[in-house]
Amino acid sequence: MNSLDEFIADHASCERKAHASAMMMVNRYPDYPELQRRMISLALEELIHFQQLFEILTARNIRLPSDQPDPYVKSLMSVARDPKDFHLLDRLMIAAVIEARSAERFCLFAAKLPEGDLKDFYVKFAVEEARHFPYFIETAHLLFPSSDINLALDRVLKQDALAVQSLPILPTVH
């Protein structure tokens, strides 16, 4: 709460990255039209989120920060396997876990905010973001057997546990 502007600026960057990562999937997987369709829908939603955050930054007189490496995401990406299909499954699970953790943090953030427009926005927002974890899991189920999905999710969650132990506490989403 003491670094409200910093948190909101980081959040805006996260939305821009979520949009970019969904569009990267659209570009990278031409053989999976259903995946592309779902990622285009998600990219639209994330772009609208980014626009909303950009307007909040502008109203608070904050500049959008330039892209910074995210050590949490980098740590999760380290478990993405190489072969093409497993790489896709791992990317979907990494995205699912990032979405789940982000939604958790937006809930915590919303709960702490004082009554007002910003709190109302984040309460609504946390509910919207909470849909993205199951969205990535459902997408994986269209393409992969449950046993592979469970295994891949487990690997990412183990890395998530390791990553959060080593990351410093900062006013950022992750």
Q: Which residues make up the interface to Fe ion (CB under 5 A)?
A: 15, 18, 46, 49, 99, 129, 132
* Residue 169, SS3 per DSSP: coil
Please tell me the distance from the alpha carbon of residue 106 to that of residue 39, in angstroms, as a whole number. 22
* Nearer of residues 10 and 15 to Fe ion, judged by Cβ: 15
Name the DSSP letter for residue 60: T
From residue 165, alpha-carbon distances to 5, 11, 112, 158 in Å are 25, 21, 23, 11
* Nearer of residues 22 and 89 to Fe ion, judged by Cβ: 22
* Nearer of residues 46 and 160 to Fe ion, judged by Cβ: 46
* Nearer of residues 26 and 151 to Fe ion, judged by Cβ: 26
| CB-count burial class (<10 Å; 0-12, 13-18, 19+) for 47 | middle
Give the nearest distance from C-beta 51 to Fe ion in angstroms.
11
